[in-house]
Each structure stands twice: as structure tokens, then as C-alpha cells.
Chains A and B, each alone.
Chain A
Amino acid sequence: MIKLPRTLVFGSILFFTFLIAALISFLWTPADVEILNITSRFKLPSAINWFGTDHFGRDIFSMIMVGARTSIAVAIVAVGIGILLGVPLGLWAASHHGHWLDDLIMRGNDLVFAFPSLIIAILITAVFGPSAFNAIIAIGIFNVPVFARISRGGALSIWTLDYILSARVAGKRSFRISAEHILPNIANLLIVQGTIQFSLGILAEAALSYVGLGVQPPTPSWGRMLADSQTMISFAPHLALFPGFAIILTVLGLNLMGDGLRDILDPRIRRTQR
């Protein structure tokens, strides 16, 4: 049994706490987030409301749980888009290195990089209106060149190795080689990058919701909780602190997981390569 690094353990605990909270929220939350209870608004954390209540009297703890759904769902689908479109693109480019196809794909990548997710979200929202779907597309689009670049980089360094030459001598063509030999060997790279993009996705979703371009009310989202709390921060700071901590801890958890995964996955590669 391999000894798991502390970063992986600690990070997983943090992240999975929020994931489990998000899943549980489908079945149960301490209070119903849709019910407004003006009489008990701005309550500080207590035995009834673990994180207190907001300006509409809603239970903040429950809102954090439901908000976790949004953040995680948006971020994970965005990573999915990035991987499903970006990785084949990157592998394709690498197998045609030196060919104009490779240059074209790289130029395309650079172009998308000039548009930060926020800008893409602005463009889409200006035309289609704000929604969670648009946030997913905007963040997802930006993930594509990230994964394309990483897969291409990893693939290029493998293409020069002799076992690829062996495969070509055995008559295998680029597509088969990319699938059978290259992809399994860049999998580790992709897993680590996946956790990083996941955490960036959470931050991006929060930012988009904060400026109103993401998921719309009444669906709770951490970003919008922060936007709402802004004017009341001087007398009810807990409205801003809890959602903030939720974002920080989830992102931190994912980043630690990424670090830990890198530690267990990499040395094995290093060992096999001398």
C-alpha cells in the first residue's frame, strides 16, 4: 500500500466535505433556502442557525450547502468540456508537429488565451443573457486551450522516444499511437491539471455570479451571496465571511489534492525513466 502524502489526504478531506454537503443538500438541508423569514434576519451564528441568517432571514448554512452544488457542477462540467475537446486537439496537433495543422491549432489556442473567461462570459451574456449554462460554456471554452497545450506538450516529449518508433515499425499509425501509447502516459499530467482547472473553475464561477453573469436567483450561489453581502458588511460581516471561507476551503482542498496527486503520480514516472 503506497503511503499517501499529507497534502492529498488533507486536501481530499476539505474538498469531499463540500462535495458531500452538496450531494446531501438534494435530500436535506437544515432549513429551506427558498423560504424568506424577515423576522429572523441578520441573526448571528447560533445553535439553530449554525452560520447565522442573511438579510432575508435565510439560513446561511443551508445556502452554503446548496451553493456548493452550483460551484461544483459548473466547475466540473467546464473541466469536462476542456478535457473532451482540448485533449484530442492537443494530441492531434502533436502528431502533426511541423505540419501547418499543428501551427494552426496553436494559433487558435493563443487566440482563445487572449480572451479571459470573464470576457467570454461577457460576450455570451450580452447576447444570450446570463445563466448557469452560459457560465459553464464561458469557463469551458477557456479550459480547452489549457488542456490542448498541456496534452500537446506532454505528447511531443513522448513522440521522440524510441518506443514510438517501435510502434511505427510495427505498422501503427498516428491515431492508434496517440491512443495506445501517448494518452496513457500523459494521463497523470492531465489528472493533476484537471484538479487545478477544477479549482480555477470554482473561482471563476464565483466571480461570474458575483457580477451577476452566472447562475440567476433564486438559485443560491456563493458568488451572489458575496455580492448581496457587500452593502451590509459593516454590520453583518458573517454574511460575507462564510461564503468566502467556503470558496477558499474548496479551492484550497482541490489545490492540495493536485499537489498530492502530483507527488504520488510523478515519482513513478521518474523511476521508470532512469
Chain B
Amino acid sequence: MLYFAFTRLISLSLSLIAASVVIFSVIEIIPGDPASFMLGINAQPDTIAALREQLGLNGSLISRYFSWVFGMLTGDFGISYTYRVPVSELILARVWISLPLAIYALAISTLIAFPVGLIAAANRGKPVDLAIMGTTQLGVAIPNFWFAMILVLVFAINLRWFSAGGFPGWDEGLLLSIKSLTLPAIALALPQASILARIMRSSILDTLNQDYIRTARAKGLNQRQAIWRHALKNAMIPVLTIIGMQFSFLMAGAIIIENVFFLPGLGRLIFQGITQRDLIVVESVVMLLVFAVIIVTFIVDLTYAAVDPRLRRK
């Protein structure tokens, strides 16, 4: 197990390094000169030179890359060109909206998908299963931002159960903040839950075809006991990897959803950064998001090994 964790850790580090190289190359190398890019076509040569000096663009590519990475490791993400404040401050304020939102959505998604997938698999072919398959088939086709708009229309504008957007801030109270994240989380979660439920169902059905289920039945277990005691744990294994991948889609989705609900999260930061050509902000936030996805994949891999004894070496 330790050896497995060690190899995965190496994998993780390599991925992070590779990702950082890619991001750095795209942002700092491709546009040619980042400074003139940021300032636009009409900029004066001396303004450009000043910005270059300020951004440290006069060093070699290698040294710039390393100072960027080193900076990030010490929490220094540079100064935002538009806002003139450290990017780390901007990120910190907003990550506490985007991250809880993603986790909230993941929780809702899994809490719904697991039982639904299980019920569908256990009642294969029966009306319950057909109903679930039909609903989830619809669910995966719904764009989450559209669903968000509909939720706002029904629950906020018409029923007035929730506010139509905005975020009060964690200082205003835990419950209030969670309430304002609820509609967004549901909007994010429902399409993902549909995908997850279908995968859960097919994973359980695949497992039920295995020989060891037949052995369990021959021992005297009934269908329900066979599913519960044997099929479930085995079926979970491929589902775990999917959840890991889902997290990356959830982060991406969260960024888009923030737009519908006017949540001041990382999404807003990044889109403003793009419109204002603030490459520093864009670079940092993208790196952060990719970092989050890679970490989550790593955690999922570890859980994978914890669940499946075949992956642990003696």
C-alpha cells in the first residue's frame, strides 16, 4: 500500500509539473510579449517597458518559469494588473465560494445517485427501473446553466423561497450562506447525478453477472443479500474513478453557474480577467483549478487501493 501511494505521489508531482509548464507556455510564451498583449495595440513603448520591468519579463524563460512556480509554492501569485492587489487575496476571497459550491454539488449528486442507481439495478426491467432510466436520460441532456435559470424562475422569482442570486458572505451566517448556495448546487448536481446514477446501475448489473454472485446464491443468500454483501463493494470500484473525473466537470460547471446566480466566485474573477486581458489572474486561477483536479484524482486513486485489495502489494 505504501509503495502504491508513493508511486501515485510521484505521478501527482509529475502531472503538476507538466500542467504548470503547459499553462506557463500558453500564457506567457504564445502571445509573444505578455506585456504588450495586456496593454493592447495602442500602448506606448515606454508603458510597455515599464510593465515588462514590473512583471519581471526581462529574465530568461526558464528563470521566469521557476520564479513563477516558486512564487506559487510560497503563496505569491503575483499582482493583478487590473485590481493592483495581490492575486492571492483575490483568489482567497473567492475560492471560499467556488470550492464549497463544488463540494455541496458533489455531495448532493452522490447522495441522490447511489440509492437511485441501486434501486434501478435491483429492479431491472420493472416500472421503477424504466422510470429511473427515462428520467436520468432526460437529466443528462439538460444544460446545468439552463436548469439554473429555470430554478431561479420557479423558486426565486415565483415562489420566493430563495433569493435570485448573490452571496451574503460567510460572516453573515452559516445557514444563510448555505441557503444561497443551494439552488446553484442543485442546478450543478442534477445532471451529474443522472450520469452517476446510470453508471452506478450498469456497474451493479455487470457485477451481478459475475461468477462469485452465483457462488453466493448457492450458499443460500437471496438476491437482496447477494447485492448488498457482494455486488455493491465490487460495483463501487469503477464508480469511484468516475466520481474523480466528475469533480473536474463540477469545478468547470461551478464557474459557469456562478454567472447565473451572480456569485462572486472564481468564475467571475476569471471571466473578468479574460475581458480585461489580465493574464496574471487568468494564469493563476487556471493553475489553481487544475491543481484541485489533480489532487482530487490522487485522493480517488488512494481510495481505490483502499477498497480493492488486488492493488495493494505485499
Report B137-154 residues with CB < 8 Å from chain A CB.
Answer: 137-138, 140-143, 145-146, 149-150, 152-153
Q: Residues of A contacting B30 with CB < 8 Å? A: 127
In the complex, A189→B247 CA distance in Å? 25
Interface of A is mostly: helix
Partner of A119, one of B145, B279, B290, B294: B290
Q: Are A244 and B248 in contact (CB under 8 A)?
A: no
Q: Residues of A contacting B57 with CB < 8 Å? A: none
Q: Which residue of B lies closest to A129 (CB)?
A: B274
Q: Residues of A contacting B245 with CB < 8 Å? A: 113
- Given A206-B143, A248-B141, answer yes or no on A118-B252 (Cβ-Cβ < 8 Å): yes
In the complex, A199→B255 CA distance in Å? 21
In the complex, A127→B274 CA distance in Å? 9
Per-residue B-contact encoding for A14-33, CB less than 8 Å = 1, 0 else = 00000000000000000000
Q: Are B138 and A226 in contact (CB under 8 A)?
A: no
Most chain B CB atoms below 10 A, which of A107, A117, A126, A252:
A126
In the complex, A199→B252 CA distance in Å? 18
Q: Are A199 and B141 in contact (CB under 8 A)?
A: yes
B18 adjacent to chain A (CB < 8 Å): yes
B15 adjacent to chain A (CB < 8 Å): yes
Tell me the total A-B contact number using a CB cutoff of 8 A: 117
Q: Are A210 and B256 in contact (CB under 8 A)?
A: yes
- Given A107-B14, A123-B286, answer yes or no on A113-B153 (Cβ-Cβ < 8 Å): no
A9 smallest CB distance to B (angstroms): 15
Partner of A252, one of B138, B149, B153, B157: B138
In the complex, A115→B23 CA distance in Å? 10
B124 smallest CB distance to A (angstroms): 15
Contacts A/B (CB < 8 Å), 8 sampled: A123-B282, A127-B27, A210-B256, A211-B271, A233-B153, A240-B153, A243-B146, A244-B143
Q: Which residues of A contact B (CB under 8 A)?
A: 107, 110-111, 113-119, 122-127, 199, 203, 206-207, 210-213, 226, 229-230, 233-234, 237, 240, 243-244, 247-249, 251-252, 255-256
